[in-house]
Chains A and B, each alone.
Chain A
Amino acid sequence: MTQWVRYTLPAAAIVSVASPAYAMQYLSIEEAQKQAFPSATHFTEVQAGRVWKAEAGGRVAGFFIFDRVIGKHLYIDYAVALTPSGGVHAVEILQYRESYGGEIRSPSWLAQFVGKNSGSSLKINGDIRNIAGATLSSTHITEGVKRVLAAYGNRLR
């Protein structure tokens, strides 16, 4: 039977100082609004930077609410689209920030992954876009959506 290949990680790979560093921008507020209400002809700001009313041909298509949840290691901007009757139509993540070691965006840090073992070089250059490993819980978003519904679900109808 073939042997597994074993590597011992240096301590430096395990110890680091945490600071906010990794950000993923998905949609802007405007893009998310169009995505949630494709038929809407315009969006009226009901509460500055936070709540918009979507209208299509003079009729209310729904409401769009921007919110943010902050945890110890994550900062997430998200939007809740509500139906005219105050039900959840869609929840979309707009931006996601994680705290990793502060060096994570620097070219030298990214370069460390290149050609570390068999001599072949990593074909993709640039950013960290896909992260795997332990699953992150979306509990804070679920709580955030409940809060948004409690605050706006009835009031906006």
Chain B
Amino acid sequence: MRDYWLSKLFFDLQTPAAAAEYRAGRDAVLARYPLKPEVLAAIENDDVAAMAPLVNAYLLRFYFLVSGMPEETFLKRIRASGNKTAGEANRG
């Protein structure tokens, strides 16, 4: 099940200025989104596995690029998450 506001945050961070603001200080940016406590905790902990089912996989991958997580770290964590988005897609 997608989380709208987590997805919106990731979507908005595609703007270079927004991404720069986020890297400079997450709290001010996060305060603008009505995120659920468990979602906020997942962000604060860079918890890839917790966030993976909540957002589109492309947005997830983009977020961790923008937030500065090394590619090898992201690969290790997403592979360990077991999250496979295809199961949610329509067949055909």
Verify that A and B bind, or say they do not.
no
Which residue numbers of B lie inside 8 Å of A, CB to CB? none
